[in-house]
Chain A
Amino acid sequence: MLQQVQANPYNWPFDGEIDPSKTALMLIDWQADFCGPNGYVDAMGYDISLTRAGIEPTKRVLAAARKLGMKIIFTREGHRPDLSDLPANKRWRSKQIGAEIGSEGPLGRILVRGEKGWDIIPELAPMPGEVIIDKPGKGSFYATDLDIILRVAGITHLIFTGITTDVCVHTTMREANDRGYECLILSDCTGATDKGNHEAALKMVTMQGGVFGAVSDSESLLKVLEN
């Protein structure tokens, strides 16, 4: 058992110590399309240094979590090659902004399963045996087997890293919190296409005494994990 992590608005977890056997590290959408050069986010014209900022601290947290034997869960957003799971409005919006999902880009077809841009970046590559969840939307619980995998493994606590803070990470954390998982998000292991939205997303977690869980950072967590 490990001690609580210093976090806002309460030290995490609420129920005392961290039990590594009941805690999973979530790595949300560390895909080339969201943080790689020539990927989807780059093609939309956003600054990928913002979505890449969390790579190094996340590497350190991932190494510590693996050492402790925590469950490691990766997620990937992407669609079937025939785009049969792509809602028409989602496709249209991506086309309007110049990065149509399913169209050919420098990293293969944008956000299509099996393509180069859809894959997880090498810096945070999964190891054999680690769980990868493929999802068609922003939330990692909707239309996936994430919940059953966590329940079978006896996981009750989740630590979030990933991109982007306000979209896929937040949606998944909201879903997890509703399902009774005790959640922590690491401010420096996440990132968004807009800095203000990143900061607002973190602040929202802390409203009403921690409406979606708590916020900490890699340094505070590593102090506990590596002790």
Chain B
Amino acid sequence: MPTMQSTPYRWPWNGLFDMRDFALVVTSAMVANQDSGRITQNGRNQVRDFANTVRQAGALVVEVACSDPRITGVPWRTNDKFALSAGERFTDADIHIQSCGIDAFYSSPLEDVLNRSHRRLIGLCGTWFETSVHSTMREANDRGMECVAFHDISFCLNPQSKKNTISQIEMSGGIFGAVSTSTDFSKTFCNC
């Protein structure tokens, strides 16, 4: 199998891509009332279509509804200005799960789902790029999984931070993995 175009190295690192080892993890983070409008219907459609494409090609698609520690358990730091509500569902995933943190692994069955289906190659996308996508990528990477973030379908809370959100992944030779686009992935691994 070929590797795909990505930075700072061609993904995956060892050139051993197999769709049966791949999972797409879509995170749906909480939305503060002032965030609304940062994601377009077109963006949502892109995520849904990409999830359908990779699933038909044999990937596992997991969508995780992420939470925020400020609303689980005791009332935390929220106030009216930053009232948080659950994000809208993106996909018809194979599995929908819920995490108790901003990170999709925290207090969720995600690690078991990935381990039991032997998925060690992980693609990430969804909301928000700086929060749940990043936290989840960091945790997957610490677990030895080989990760790629799709920056065209990972949506920023603050569009101005996109450049650094990507750069933080690429430093030190790809400290959390690689960065690419869903189109590059589809072209290389799904023949479309």
**Which A residues have a C-beta under 8 Å from some C-beta of B?**
10, 14, 44, 87-90, 92-94, 96-97, 136-139, 142-143, 166-167, 170-171, 174-175, 177-180, 193-194, 196-197, 199-201, 203-204, 207-212
C-alpha spacing A87/B163, complex, angstroms: 27
Segment touching A, from B88-96, B167-175, B181-189? B167-175
Q: Are the C-beta atoms of B158 and A207 separated by less than 8 Å?
A: yes
Nearest 3 A/B pairs, CB to CB: A178-B101, A137-B142, A200-B164
C-alpha spacing A90/B13, complex, angstroms: 10
- Please indicate the chain B residues that have their CB under 8 angstroms from the CB of A136 in the complex: 142
Per DSSP, are chain A's interface residues mostly helix, strand or loop, or mixed?
helix
C-alpha spacing A170/B73, complex, angstroms: 23
Number of residues of chain B lying within 8 A (CB) of chain A: 47
Q: Are the C-beta atoms of B138 and A174 separated by less than 8 Å?
A: yes
Segment touching A, from B17-25, B45-53, B56-64, B75-83? B75-83
Q: Can you sample 25 A-B contacts with CB below 8 Å?
A: A14-B76, A88-B144, A89-B12, A89-B14, A137-B142, A138-B138, A138-B142, A142-B143, A167-B168, A167-B171, A170-B138, A174-B102, A177-B69, A177-B102, A178-B102, A178-B103, A178-B106, A178-B135, A200-B161, A200-B165, A203-B158, A204-B130, A204-B165, A208-B32, A211-B68
**Which B residues have a C-beta under 8 Å from some C-beta of A?**
9, 12-14, 32, 35, 68-69, 73, 76-79, 81-82, 84, 100-103, 106, 130-131, 134-135, 138-139, 141-144, 146, 157-158, 161, 163-165, 167-168, 171-177
- Please indicate the chain A residues that have their CB under 8 angstroms from the CB of B77 in the complex: 10, 14, 209-210
Q: Are the C-beta atoms of A208 and B82 separated by less than 8 Å?
A: yes
Tell me the smallest distance from the CB of B183 to a CB of chain A, in Å. Answer: 24
Pick from A87, A88, A167, A210: contact of B175, CB under 8 Å: A167
Residue of B nearest to A44 (CB): B172
Pick from B68, B102, B174: contact of A93, CB under 8 Å: B174
C-alpha spacing A198/B158, complex, angstroms: 16
- Please indicate the chain A residues that have their CB under 8 angstroms from the CB of B106 in the complex: 175, 178-179
- Please indicate the chain A residues that have their CB under 8 angstroms from the CB of B161 in the complex: 200, 203-204
- Please indicate the chain B residues that have their CB under 8 angstroms from the CB of A201 in the complex: 164, 168
Q: Are the C-beta atoms of B130 and A93 separated by less than 8 Å?
A: no
Q: Are the C-beta atoms of B167 and A89 separated by less than 8 Å?
A: no
Tell me the smallest distance from the CB of A69 to a CB of chain B, in Å. Answer: 26
